[in-house]
Amino acid sequence: MFYKKTFLTCLLSILLLSYAPFASATPPENELNQYLTEIGWTKQELLDYLDYYEIPLEDFNSVEELKSVLGTPINAKNLQDLLTKYKMKQSELNALLDHFGDSLNDYKFIEDLDASVGFYTNHDKYMAGIEDELQKIGITEQEVENFFTYLSQVEENNKDSLDQMESLDYRLEQFMNATDPSAELTEEQLTELTDILTTAFDLYGIQVKLKNNNKDISLKNLLKMAEPPGNLYTGIYTKTGAPLIDFTLPAGFFEGLMAGYEEMLHLGELSDEFVDFLHQDKYNNSRQYK
């Protein structure tokens, strides 16, 4: 509250403040509706978009302010400019987006597309490396892309997930480095490894179902086995039961399974980094109106 030098100014301020709750802090409805018609959106689509970036519509007093944060709708010219910037053909752009489970149809504004393409081009080789490792244990490229997209959605509900995933990744690497692959795990090691993996599953919002030679088996009992199973099936599902990934490992599963879980942690870290990057980019553009 600003210091007021006169009683009259103070009184006027009180009156204005008392009126404020009844005044709209959002862009004028008629102007907003006209703008939404121009870009082919409903108001709910706008609210969903802003909600994704955690920006209230009430932060904007005019459509012009809103436009400056949302960006420029994609058209033939600015799309071609973007392709030129990244030295890409349309087919190469589509392939890059698809590599991360993304699509040009998911974008309304060129600035958002530019931010994503910039991130993807800087992480494409890393993503390919993750896919190569996971393909060794039977996980397809499409499953990796679907899992990446799902993890990006899960991250929206937990803004601390990147730090938590990095912590789990570190714990798993420490465990792998300190454990003799040829030696039987101690009870303490079993407890630590089970805790790392179940914590990761919960953080990812997934259920993991395991079968040893077509018979259900718990994670801890699986890790207790002195001899590798003939065939180990792993199915990964969302909390609501939708399938994400499934694969079957032959005998000698342990190293392959643990390497696979570690790569999934890396995939989770990458998806979180992507979401945080997009949010920060949009936040930097919107904070001028707060």
Instruction: Write out the DSSP string of 13-47.
Output: HHHHHHHGGGS--SPPHHHHHHHHHHHT--HHHHH
Provide the CB-side half-sphere exposure for 257 (13 A, CA).
Answer: 24
Question: Contact, 231 vs 249, CB < 8 A?
Answer: yes
Q: What are phi and psi of 215, to 5 degrees?
A: -115, 135
DSSP secondary structure code for residue 62 in this structure: S
- Give the pLDDT score at 113: 94
Whole-number Å distance between alpha carbons of 33 and 190: 59
Helix (H, G, I), strand (E, B) or coil at 1: coil
- Give the pLDDT score at 22: 35
Q: Do residues 45 and 83 share a domain?
A: no
Q: Do residues 268 and 160 share a domain?
A: yes
List of residues 6+ apart from 85 with CB closer than 8 A: 114
Residue 236: give the domain boundaries.
Answer: 139-278
Q: Do residues 119 and 171 share a domain?
A: no
Q: Do residues 175 and 245 share a domain?
A: yes
- Give the pLDDT score at 138: 79
- Give the pLDDT score at 131: 77
In a domain, 11, yes or no: no
* Single-letter code of the amino acid located at 195: D
Question: Contact, 208 vs 236, CB < 8 A?
Answer: yes
pLDDT tens, the chain, 290 aa long: 332 222 222 222 322 232 333 334 578 899 999 999 999 999 999 999 998 888 889 989 899 999 999 999 999 999 999 999 999 999 999 999 988 888 999 999 999 999 999 988 888 887 778 777 777 777 888 888 888 888 878 877 776 766 777 787 788 778 878 877 667 778 898 898 889 888 888 888 889 898 888 889 888 887 787 666 667 788 989 999 999 988 887 655 445 555 555 655 565 566 666 666 565 665 555 444 34
Q: Do residues 92 and 66 share a domain?
A: no
Give, in degrees to the nearest 5, the angle at Cα 267 between 245 and 187.
80
Whole-number Å distance between alpha carbons of 154 and 240: 13
DSSP string computed for 75-121: -HHHHHHHHHHTT--HHHHHHHHHHTT--GGG-SBHHHHHHHHHHHH
Whole-number Å distance between alpha carbons of 28 and 116: 31
H-assigned helices in the chain: 7-19, 29-39, 43-52, 63-70, 76-85, 90-99, 110-135, 141-155, 161-178, 187-204, 219-224, 253-286
Helix (H, G, I), strand (E, B) or coil at 182: coil
Count of structural domains within the chain:
3
Q: Do residues 252 and 166 share a domain?
A: yes
Q: Do residues 119 and 225 share a domain?
A: no
Whole-number Å distance between alpha carbons of 64 and 149: 32
Nearest to 169 by CA among 272, 68, 77, 95: 272
Exposure of 284 by Cβ count < 10 A (0-12 exposed, 13-18 middle, 19+ buried)? exposed
- Give the pLDDT score at 233: 86
In a domain, 94, yes or no: yes
Q: Do residues 90 and 200 share a domain?
A: no
- Give the pLDDT score at 63: 93
In a domain, 225, yes or no: yes
In a domain, 145, yes or no: yes
Q: Do residues 86 and 114 share a domain?
A: yes
- Give the pLDDT score at 25: 56
In a domain, 203, yes or no: yes
In a domain, 287, yes or no: no
Q: Do residues 180 and 264 share a domain?
A: yes
In a domain, 13, yes or no: no
DSSP secondary structure code for residue 181 in this structure: T
In a domain, 286, yes or no: no
Q: Do residues 150 and 241 share a domain?
A: yes
Whole-number Å distance between alpha carbons of 143 and 249: 16
Q: Do residues 43 and 87 share a domain?
A: no
- Give the pLDDT score at 229: 64
User: In the listed set 131, 155, 170, which residue is the last one of a domain according to the structure?
Assistant: 131
Q: Which residue has the tokens 């030679």?
A: 213
The arrangement of strands across the sheet holding 243-250 comes to 215-216, 206-212, 231-238, 243-250
